[in-house]
Structure 1
């Protein structure tokens, strides 16, 4: 079986996916026209030309500007359905979507507008493609903890529709411990907890996410390789890392994909998964991340099957939902 075909045949979960980061320029311009929103760019081509990032912040500046096109519930529905169509083609059987309500409520968009559009897309994707899904509310770490509590207050009437919370946006200078009280409250409410750590921030941020926030998964986590004791800990505990290879190259975490440390992490026994992060901006959805990484690092089919298995095992679902996916996976060679 050819690599491309094999990767798409692997049933996999995508666990690190910012739904706002799937906003392709073509859809961005259609929504902006529909909603009478002025964008900073004159055309789709000019927008794509702006995707030359020097670091995380240069990407975030563009990301927040593009999000202005999202105004109505149907915009969020269209956004998520476009993602689910691509995910289905890539062999995704389950997706856990990050969404950033603070990005939208700060523009006067109601929390329920965002959530209802995404939730409707999740239902339709299950009916149309059989894809399972979860919604994870992410707090913006460049804002204060008090602003995070305000976002949680807006979410409170809808907690039955949200499965977890995360922490994203600018990592440098914003350690996980900044949000200790907020995440303690989220855990009291029974929400799953994940956190971005160890992308641009140091390995100490990964330890803080584990010890202070009690994160069940670490989003990125690639800088764990700089701390041997942390590597041993992650191998022992099997806390999943949701690694995003193409994102890491586009944001200059690694100079090239051939220099990425994913295989180092995998060979050290860490529970590594592959994800696309913000695929509209970083040049590829999840299958392309698998394929390009396999080619760059010499990953075998057994490696890819293990990574897909890790993703299914790390998903926030029960064993009954997971069992048929694992059975499908084990039926494949590798």
Structure 2
């Protein structure tokens, strides 16, 4: 089964670029930019990767992001992740990035976008890998900040395909951002949002009804509301589930306790993703292996995760046909 997973074409729809910052690269960038880290070496950083909840992870995540200063830094970050995708037979990926994490530190928006864009172009030319970029608003900041970020981003709109919502979920319901997502819809962007990882099923309802999301990022708390599960099933609203991340952040204590089997039994459109793999100890192949082993999933189910992701990827018809062909050939 491990060999099958390694060779299976995969499509990732839920990964945070800043969450792919491996400790070794973090230290190289810190040295390059003259930034002091509160850790003496790579091993001590990894030792800090024990989180009790989402917020404890975010505290470390934002501290690590300080090393990203220049266009070359963002290129190096993105290129390292895309090389990993090629190694793991990820044939298409749609990456989140958090501009407010950087603009709040005085990093110009264009510095972030240009570095990422160069790496994406190189990945397509050298690795045959297609990519999309999704700009995310930080939900623990104000809606006014999100609106300002969106307006700043519009001159660079050709670089991203969708808009999302991420960061600390508890106490920050999707309805807080209803006005800015109305603006997003008017501009014709695809819409996604994190909902129902730590937050209640009501947050998923709000993401669907008030923001108009096309995909729900995480969504695992939907099983607490039978009506919501039925709605998601009928609409075939995709859930971008991140199993290892859910365990690392204590949404579930063990992978064997994850509700993935319930989601599948309910007929929901599930995809498997890595989330913040540098921090959660698993890229795509590791997540596929974890659920395959924990729940004795067969090959058709694993193929189904890829097919679901292709179905709902933000790509044109030609690229979608190419991705289906890659999956069928495998």
Normalising by the smaller structure, the TM-score range is over 0.9
Which contiguous aligned blocks of 4+ residues in structure 1 show a shift greater than 6 angstroms? none
Q: Does 1:28 align with 2:26?
A: yes
Secondary structure at 1:71 match in 2: coil
Q: How does 1:1-334 map to 2 (within 5 A)?
A: 3-332=1-330
Length, aligned pairs only: 330
Quote the Cα distance in structure 2 between the aligned partners of 1:268 and 1:53: 30
1:178-215 CA deviation, whole Å, 9 max, x = no partner? 00000000111111100000000000100100000000
Quote the Cα distance in structure 1 between the aligned partners of 2:323 and 2:3: 18
Quote the Cα distance in structure 2 between the aligned partners of 1:328 and 1:114: 32
1:256-292 CA deviation, whole Å, 9 max, x = no partner? 0011111210121110000000000000101110011
Counterpart contact for 1:243–1:272, Cα < 8 Å: yes
Quote the Cα distance in structure 2 between the aligned partners of 1:95 and 1:307: 14
Counterpart contact for 1:243–1:273, Cα < 8 Å: yes
Quote the Cα distance in structure 1 between the aligned partners of 2:299 and 2:159: 37
The unaligned stretches of length 5 or more in structure 1 are: none
1:16-73 CA deviation, whole Å, 9 max, x = no partner? 0000000000000000000001112121111111000000000000000000000000
Tell me which moved more, 271-280 or 256-265: 256-265
Q: Normalising by the residue count of structure 2, what TM-score does the alignment of the two structures yield?
A: 0.99
Shift of 1:300: 0.9
Secondary structure at 1:212 match in 2: helix
C-alpha root-mean-square deviation of aligned residues, in Å? 0.8
Quote the Cα distance in structure 1 between the aligned partners of 2:273 and 2:8: 14
Shift of 1:320: 1.1
Quote the Cα distance in structure 2 between the aligned partners of 1:248 and 1:298: 19
Secondary structure at 2:79 match in 1: helix
Quote the Cα distance in structure 2 between the aligned partners of 1:162 and 1:175: 24
1:105-154 CA deviation, whole Å, 9 max, x = no partner? 01110000000000111100111111101110000000000011111121
Quote the Cα distance in structure 2 between the aligned partners of 1:324 and 1:189: 28
Counterpart contact for 1:263–1:299, Cα < 8 Å: no
Quote the Cα distance in structure 2 between the aligned partners of 1:328 and 1:161: 25
Quote the Cα distance in structure 1 between the aligned partners of 2:2 and 2:317: 29
Q: Normalising by the residue count of structure 1, what TM-score does the alignment of the two structures yield?
A: 0.97
Counterpart contact for 1:40–1:65, Cα < 8 Å: no
